[in-house]
């Protein structure tokens, strides 16, 4: 089946069949206000925190045909009643003559035709505002006049999203709606839980006179809710019930009589779903966005934002799917993961106060947006540093609204430590990448508190950013086990391998190695040779340990269990070889050249599939509490031998470090979602973003993707593609150009914004090599080496690179 196509010129993906295998979504707004809209108009909207300030009720586990969060009904007056349908297809599922859902940058546009009515609805959050706009044009495309009504509907949740699901007494007793009608006939429906009445209210309104409304779901659906969303009884009456809900399930439904639409005539309805301290406070913005001109300006501003954002890097390679991902969709997905971490998607539901922004996740996500939004990146780094402990380790998650941190899933296991051995090390990679991108060394001196607080909630200790980084290194250096390797804690990057106390992690050893390399580089740049020497000694110490005990003969092992048994070894029955066990010793530089090659070859032989590289093999076949969460999955799923995509770009990077451009690109291409557009019935997820996982070949549904959008795959594939395959890397001294491309490429072009200048880069590859730069000319003059200097002069500079 064909579900849609890429429109690169408009930077959209266009869905042409509403019955996609699973919902396909798009994000609007930011975590400050926004959420996602699915391709049938359903919307999950929240403000600042999906757990504690959620606005619409969207239960993703309910069937695809169900009403979710928001929709629009249209109805045509007929001699014997009304023909009611939704131009978004759901929840009425009427036959359509046209359906298009344009997944755009920060907006979703649904264009449809049903019964001679064409609807064109653009859904977005204006930059910096706390409201969702739906700018809806309704046109009579038939040749007879039609009497048309438009009834947009929202269903609210209690802001405490988990309580909404767990307490069906307190919640409905507190939910209230109030209507405010203005002289011009417009209506604002306010909604709030009683305790927030004087602090914070949701509202729904439009730019057209409203003849009647309803805010009580039971009344709107009718017949004690034996009326359905597909056929609400309320819509068979001429007018809605004008109920101001005093309790119960609150909705907002506004009846607009658009009048008799003549053939070709268009009416424009603009709705707003927002949140404010009070309706009075919101009034100026409400009035503003009732004007079509204001909405258009806001939409143009959104387009300018994306133009600037994506303008940080645009490429032109011989591969169209790579171009469309790097230039548009992958770069955009990095923005999404930076905003929402793992907090809110169809798969990551953001319930409960223990959930929040993931420390390790966001530290990696931020690396995908450094060139595009350095200030926002810095603000997120600051938040992350605030949840680091005084001993250098970090809390696993934090709630962005309250800044309360938690230990994540580790608290579910009394018998295991409540820290993850890798979390704090990622912040070193992120901060150093930020410094290289921006040159903002002053950030290192900024004083940021550690997490621990006294009784008055004041931080017990603060330290400079540099101090935070040093403590992170020290924590791991001192937290080692029998082989001198880092203790696993509750888990490392792989959340689901939870071994008994005393187990050691080779992943964390290599991540530590990479972090120490960054500290050496940073210390040298700061002119602090003594620190550089110290870190060099740390590096050598861990390198020797890893090579001394972790080489299994043909690859590196992944863990040592509490009793010293190697895991990820040919001696194991399941989990004999792990992907991260091989890529990371190359990234850390711990692997000798010979072992690096052998490790990556073993990985290719045992783990590679046409749909991506598996995380490990063979899968565990049966639950085993001594191994932990990994054994809760059947073989081939998720961390148990699935294709866990986040790990794939690390292999691409490792291959480029060895100079294998052909393989790096092959691995890049085989997981490119844009290349799956003609295999959707097997793959199922959106072809315009990376998913977290694809079922591996041990699973009967090999190739099925899940958990799209919020995955470290976004940031790392972007980094692998741009910094390692195309080789455009920010360094302290300038922009390094060190491509590692397929030999058959003749070259590529790129435009890169970097420290206040624009680099127009042309790479040519006349001798068809993968790696190696022969000459670099900057503005016509040949330079020594391959680092284009920092200009910071707001000007464009030509960089011509010849490989060979």
**Contacting residues for 785 by C-beta, under 8 A, at least 6 apart:** 776
Which region among 169-177, 270-278, 311-319, 356-364 touches ligand GLC (by CB under 6 A)?
Answer: 356-364
Q: DSSP letter at 201?
A: E
CA 187/CA 363 separation, integer angstroms: 44
Candidates 54, 338, 360, 372; binder of ligand GLC (CB under 6 A) is 360
CA 538/CA 512 separation, integer angstroms: 10
Which residue lies nearer to ligand GLC by CB, 36 or 507? 507
Which residue has the closest beta carbon to ligand GLC?
495
Q: Are 370 and 438 in contact (CB under 8 A)?
A: yes
| Contact code string over 706-725 relative to ligand GLC, x by CB under 6 A | -----x--------------
User: Alpha-carbon torsion 156, 161, 162, 163, what sign?
Assistant: negative
Which residue lies nearer to ligand GLC by CB, 130 or 362? 362
Which residue lies nearer to ligand GLC by CB, 49 or 422? 422
Which region among 26-34, 88-96, 488-496, 523-531 touches ligand GLC (by CB under 6 A)?
Answer: 488-496
Beta strands in 746-804, from DSSP E residues, in sequence order = 747-754, 757-764, 773-778, 781-783, 787-789, 796-803
Helical ranges in 227-351 per DSSP H: 279-288, 292-310, 320-324, 330-340
Which residues is 13 bridged to in the sheet?
A: 6, 103
Q: How far is the CB of 768 from ligand GLC (least distance, A)?
A: 38
Q: Are 733 and 787 in contact (CB under 8 A)?
A: yes
Candidates 40, 494, 722, 765; binder of ligand GLC (CB under 6 A) is 494
Q: How far is the CB of 762 from ligand GLC (least distance, A)?
A: 37
Measured CA distances, 385 to 362, 396, 399, 407, 449 (Å)? 11, 12, 14, 15, 8
For the annotated catalytic residues, the residue numbers are 495
Candidates 493, 507, 650, 690; binder of ligand GLC (CB under 6 A) is 493
Q: How far is the CB of 646 from ligand GLC (least distance, A)?
A: 6
Task: Give me 456's structure tokens.
Answer: 């008055």
Q: How far is the CB of 396 from ligand GLC (least distance, A)?
A: 9
Query: Coil, strand, or helix at residue 45?
Result: strand
Q: What are phi and psi of 629, to 5 degrees?
A: -55, -30
- Residue 539 interacting with ligand GLC (CB under 6 A): no
Which residue lies nearer to ligand GLC by CB, 139 or 336? 336
Which region among 152-160, 307-315, 494-502, 742-750 touches ligand GLC (by CB under 6 A)?
Answer: 494-502
Which residue lies nearer to ligand GLC by CB, 493 or 667? 493
Which region among 28-36, 145-153, 492-500, 765-773 touches ligand GLC (by CB under 6 A)?
Answer: 492-500
Examine residue 91 and say whether the peptide bond preceding it is cis (omega within 30 degrees of 0). Answer: yes
Q: How far is the CB of 30 from ligand GLC (least distance, A)?
A: 20
- Residue 361 interacting with ligand GLC (CB under 6 A): yes
- Residue 692 interacting with ligand GLC (CB under 6 A): yes
CA 284/CA 267 separation, integer angstroms: 24
Q: How far is the CB of 712 from ligand GLC (least distance, A)?
A: 6
Which residue lies nearer to ligand GLC by CB, 494 or 786? 494
- Residue 639 interacting with ligand GLC (CB under 6 A): yes
Candidates 495, 518, 686, 698; binder of ligand GLC (CB under 6 A) is 495
CA 710/CA 530 separation, integer angstroms: 41
- Residue 423 interacting with ligand GLC (CB under 6 A): no
| Contact code string over 645-664 relative to ligand GLC, x by CB under 6 A | -x------------------
Q: Are 166 and 351 in contact (CB under 8 A)?
A: no
Q: Are 135 and 268 in contact (CB under 8 A)?
A: yes
Q: How far is the CB of 647 from ligand GLC (least distance, A)?
A: 8
Q: How far is the CB of 416 from ligand GLC (least distance, A)?
A: 15
Q: Are 626 and 567 in contact (CB under 8 A)?
A: no
Q: Which residues of 668-699 are buried (b: 16+ CB within 10 A; e: fewer)?
A: bebbbbbbbbeebeebbbbbbbbbbbbbbbbb
Q: Are 339 and 30 in contact (CB under 8 A)?
A: yes
Candidates 34, 234, 356, 358; binder of ligand GLC (CB under 6 A) is 358
Q: How far is the CB of 694 from ligand GLC (least distance, A)?
A: 13
- Residue 581 interacting with ligand GLC (CB under 6 A): no
Q: DSSP letter at 697?
A: T
Residues 315-344 contacting ligand GLC, CB under 6 A: 342
Which residue lies nearer to ligand GLC by CB, 438 or 496? 496
Which residue lies nearer to ligand GLC by CB, 493 or 665? 493
Which residue lies nearer to ligand GLC by CB, 214 or 492? 492
User: Alpha-carbon torsion 404, 410, 413, 419, what sign?
Assistant: negative
| Contact code string over 594-623 relative to ligand GLC, x by CB under 6 A | ------------------------------
Q: Are 70 and 41 in contact (CB under 8 A)?
A: yes
Which residue lies nearer to ligand GLC by CB, 75 or 706? 706
- Residue 640 interacting with ligand GLC (CB under 6 A): no
Which residues is 149 bridged to in the sheet?
A: 75, 257
Which region among 107-115, 170-178, 397-405, 491-499 touches ligand GLC (by CB under 6 A)?
Answer: 491-499
Q: Are strands 612-613 and 616-617 parallel, antiparallel or unpaired?
A: unpaired
Which region among 72-80, 490-498, 525-533, 575-583 touches ligand GLC (by CB under 6 A)?
Answer: 490-498
**Contacting residues for 79 by C-beta, under 8 A, at least 6 apart:** none
Q: How far is the CB of 420 from ligand GLC (least distance, A)?
A: 8
Which region among 130-138, 450-458, 489-497, 681-689 touches ligand GLC (by CB under 6 A)?
Answer: 489-497
Query: Coil, strand, or helix at residue 670?
Result: helix
Q: DSSP letter at 398?
A: E
| Contact code string over 667-686 relative to ligand GLC, x by CB under 6 A | --------------------
Which region among 17-25, 355-363, 678-686, 784-792 touches ligand GLC (by CB under 6 A)?
Answer: 355-363
Which residue lies nearer to ligand GLC by CB, 67 or 493? 493
Which region among 487-495, 550-558, 648-656, 758-766 touches ligand GLC (by CB under 6 A)?
Answer: 487-495
Number of residues counted as binding ligand GLC (CB under 6 A): 12
CA 713/CA 613 separation, integer angstroms: 13
Return the closest-CA partner of residue 452 out of 462, 442, 443: 462
CA 1/CA 19 separation, integer angstroms: 10
Return the closest-CA partner of residue 643 out of 610, 684, 596: 610
DSSP H or E stretch at residue 252: strand 250-261
Q: How far is the CB of 373 from ligand GLC (least distance, A)?
A: 22
Return the closest-CA partner of residue 775 out of 794, 743, 803: 803
Place of tokens 């890529």: 583
How far is C-alpha 220 from the chain's CA centre?
Answer: 36
Q: How far is the CB of 212 from ligand GLC (least distance, A)?
A: 46
Q: What is the 3-state secondary structure (H, E, C) of 484-495?
A: CCEECECCCCCC
Which residue lies nearer to ligand GLC by CB, 261 or 615? 615
> Residue 144 burial (CB < 10 Å; 0-12/13-18/19+)?
exposed
Q: How far is the CB of 598 from ligand GLC (least distance, A)?
A: 26
- Residue 496 interacting with ligand GLC (CB under 6 A): yes
Residues 158-217 contacting ligand GLC, CB under 6 A: none
- Residue 38 interacting with ligand GLC (CB under 6 A): no
Which residue lies nearer to ligand GLC by CB, 214 or 495? 495
CA 42/CA 71 separation, integer angstroms: 6
Residues in touch with ligand GLC (CB under 6 A): 342, 358, 360-361, 493-496, 639, 646, 692, 711
């Amino acid at each position: 089946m064909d579900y849609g196509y890429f429109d690169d010129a408009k930077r959209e993906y266009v869905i042409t069949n509403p019955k996609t295998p699973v919902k396909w979504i798009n994000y609007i707004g930011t975590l400050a206000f926004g959420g996602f809209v699915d391709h049938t108009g359903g919307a999950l909207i929240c403000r600042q925190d999906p757990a504690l300030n959620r606005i619409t009720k969207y239960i993703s586990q309910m069937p695809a045909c169900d009403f979710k969060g928001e929709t629009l009904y249209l109805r045509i007056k007929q001699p014997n009643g009304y023909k009611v349908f939704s131009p978004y297809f759901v929840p009425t599922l009427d036959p359509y003559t046209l359906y298009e859902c344009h997944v755009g940058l920060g907006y979703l546009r649904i264009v449809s035709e049903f019964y001679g009515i064409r609807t064109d609805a653009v859904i977005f959050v204006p930059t910096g505002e706390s409201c969702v706009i739906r700018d809806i044009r309704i046109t009579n495309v038939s040749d007879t006049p039609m009497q048309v009504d438009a009834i947009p509907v929202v269903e609210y949740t209690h802001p405490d999203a988990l309580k909404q699901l767990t307490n069906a007494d307190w919640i409905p007793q507190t939910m209230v709606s109030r209507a405010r009608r203005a002289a011009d006939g417009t209506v604002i429906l306010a909604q709030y839980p009683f305790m927030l009445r004087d602090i914070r209210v949701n509202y729904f309104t439009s730019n057209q006179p409203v003849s009647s409304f309803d805010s009580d779901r039971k009344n709107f659906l009718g017949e004690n809710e034996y009326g359905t969303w597909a056929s609400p009884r309320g819509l068979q009456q001429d007018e809605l019930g004008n109920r101001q809900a005093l309790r119960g399930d609150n909705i907002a439904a506004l009846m607009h009589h658009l009048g008799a639409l003549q053939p070709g005539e268009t009416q424009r309805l603009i709705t707003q779903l927002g949140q404010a301290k009070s309706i009075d406070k919101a009034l100026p913005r409400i009035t503003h966005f009732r004007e079509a001109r204001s909405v258009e300006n806001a939409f143009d501003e959104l387009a300018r934002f994306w133009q600037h954002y994506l303008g940080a890097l645009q490429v032109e390679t011989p591969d169209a799917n790579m171009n469309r991902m790097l230039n548009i969709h992958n770069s955009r997905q990095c923005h999404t993961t930076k905003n929402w971490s793992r907090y809110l998607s169809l798969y990551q539901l953001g319930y409960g106060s223990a959930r929040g922004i993931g420390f390790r996740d966001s530290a990696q996500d931020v690396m995908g947006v450094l060139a595009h939004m350095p200030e926002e990146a810095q603000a997120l780094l600051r938040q992350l540093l605030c949840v680091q402990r005084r001993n250098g380790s970090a809390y696993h998650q934090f709630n962005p609204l309250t800044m309360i941190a938690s230990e994540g899933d580790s608290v579910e296991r009394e018998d295991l430590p409540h820290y993850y051995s890798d979390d704090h090390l990622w912040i070193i990679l992120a901060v150093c990448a930020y410094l290289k991108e921006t040159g903002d060394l002053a950030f290192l001196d900024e004083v940021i508190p550690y997490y621990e607080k006294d009784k008055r909630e004041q931080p017990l200790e603060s330290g400079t950013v540099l101090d935070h980084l040093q403590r992170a290194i020290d924590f791991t250096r001192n937290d080692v086990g029998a082989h001198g390797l880092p203790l696993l804690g509750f888990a490392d990057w792989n959340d689901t391998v939870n071994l008994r106390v005393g187990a050691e992690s080779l992943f964390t050893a290599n991540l530590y190695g990479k972090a120490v390399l960054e500290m050496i580089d940073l210390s040298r740049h700061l002119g602090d040779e003594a620190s550089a020497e110290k870190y060099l000694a740390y590096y050598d110490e861990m390198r020797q340990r890893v090579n001394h005990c972790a080489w299994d003969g043909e690859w590196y092992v992944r863990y040592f269990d509490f009793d010293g048994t190697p895991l990820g070894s040919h001696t194991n029955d399941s989990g004999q070889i792990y992907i991260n066990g091989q890529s990371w010793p190359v990234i850390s530089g711990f692997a000798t050249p010979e072992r690096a090659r052998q490790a990556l070859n073993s990985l290719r032989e045992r783990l590679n599939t046409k749909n991506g590289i598996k995380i490990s093999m063979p899968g565990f076949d049966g639950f085993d509490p001594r191994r932990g969460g990994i054994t809760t999955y059947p073989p081939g799923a998720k961390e148990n031998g699935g294709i866990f995509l986040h790990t794939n770009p690390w292999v691409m990077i490792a291959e480029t470090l060895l100079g294998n451009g052909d393989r790096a690109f092959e691995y890049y291409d085989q997981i490119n979602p844009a290349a799956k557009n003609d295999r959707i019935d097997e793959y199922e997820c959106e072809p315009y973003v990376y998913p977290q996982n694809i079922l591996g070949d041990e699973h009967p549904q090999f190739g099925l993707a899940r958990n799209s959008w919020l995955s470290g795959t976004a940031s790392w594939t972007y980094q692998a593609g741009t910094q390692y395959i195309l080789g455009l890397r920010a360094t302290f001294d300038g922009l390094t150009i060190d491509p590692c491309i397929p030999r058959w490429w003749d070259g590529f072009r790129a435009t890169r914004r970097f420290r206040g200048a624009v680099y127009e880069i042309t790479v040519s590859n006349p001798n068809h090599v993968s790696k190696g730069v022969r000459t670099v000319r900057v503005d016509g003059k040949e330079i020594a080496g391959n680092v284009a200097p920092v200009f910071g002069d707001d000007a464009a500079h030509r960089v011509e690179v010849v490989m060979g």
